[in-house]
Amino acid sequence: MGHNLKSIHWAIVLIVLGICIAFAGCTGYQQSPGPATTPQTQVPGSNTVTIQNFAFNPPAISVSPGTTVTWINKDAVDHEIINDASGSTAEGAIFRSPVIPRDGSYSFTFTSQGTYPYHCSIHPTMKGTITVQ
């Protein structure tokens, strides 16, 4: 009789322990991937141009062929990036972004070596250069 009670007691202890471990495991499992799955906010780096205060920062960068350059608009107003082309039309531009709203971004992958001056089509005084070498 005493032996059976002891067995039941230990069974209950084991079940409670198991539930605790499972619960801890579950919450731990939910928490640990948290930081990893958090969408990476784009941090300015050598391939990133920040648009702020009506200026491209840095105004000129050099990248190697195959590099994707990302522009991030940190201004409250829209900007639109366009590669300088001959004449005033967009004809011949290698790259042209859509209108980039606040906190929006635009990326372009440069495959060919060369110097690519660009400007903002909304604010033509905003100028920058991408050099691919």
Our CB check for Cu ion shows the closer of 79 and 106 to be: 79
Taking the complex as a whole, the smallest distance from the CB of residue 49 to Cu ion amounts, in Å, to 12
Lay out the site mask for Cu ion across 46-85 (x = CB under 5 A, - = otherwise).
---------------------------------x------
Alpha-carbon separation of residue 43 from 30, 37, 71, 104 (angstroms) = 26, 16, 11, 13
> In which region does residue 94 sit, left (phi positive, over 0), alpha (psi from -120 to 50) or beta (all else)?
alpha
CA distances from 101 to 41, 45, 78, 84, 85 (A): 16, 20, 5, 21, 23
Is 82 or 85 the residue whose CB approaches Cu ion more closely?
82
Least CB distance from residue 75 to Cu ion, whole Å?
A: 7
The residue from 74, 96, 123, 127 that contacts Cu ion (CB under 5 A) is: 123
